[in-house]
Amino acid sequence: MSLDTTKPRLVFVTRKSPLQELIERHGTIGQARFYLEVRGESVAYFEDMHERLEQACRACNPPCLRISGART
C-alpha cells in the first residue's frame, strides 16, 4: 500500500447527522420513524438534511486532493 504524497490532503472532521444519531439511538430507521411519528414529526426532514450534508461533503472533493475522513 503506497500513499500518494504528491497531492495536497484535505481532512474532513464531521459529526454524525441527526438521522444517523436517530438510527443509532433507536436501532433501525423504522424504529426512528415510529419514534418521530408518535410525536407528530416526519423522518423526511431528517432524511433531507442527511442527504444535503452528504452532497455538501461530496461537492468539496475535487480530484486534485487526497481525502481523509474523521468522525467525532
User: Is 50 a domain residue?
Assistant: yes
User: Is 3 a domain residue?
Assistant: no
Phi, psi torsion values for 71, nearest 5 degrees: -120, 135
Tens digit of each residue's pLDDT (9 = 90 or more) over 43-65: 999 999 999 988 887 777 666 66
pLDDT number for residue 62: 65
pLDDT band for 68, please (50, 70, 90 cuts): low
User: Is 48 a domain residue?
Assistant: yes
Say which residues have a Cβ less than 8 Å from residue 30's Cβ, sequence separation at least 6: none
Domains of the chain: total:
1
Q: Which residues of 7-48 form beta strands (DSSP E)?
A: 9-14
User: Is 15 a domain residue?
Assistant: yes
User: Is 4 a domain residue?
Assistant: no
User: Is 20 a domain residue?
Assistant: yes
Question: Are 16 and 70 a contacting pair, CB within 8 Å?
Answer: no
User: Is 14 a domain residue?
Assistant: yes
Block residue for cell numbers 500500500: 1
Residue 34, domain extent: 9-71
pLDDT number for residue 22: 95
pLDDT number for residue 53: 87
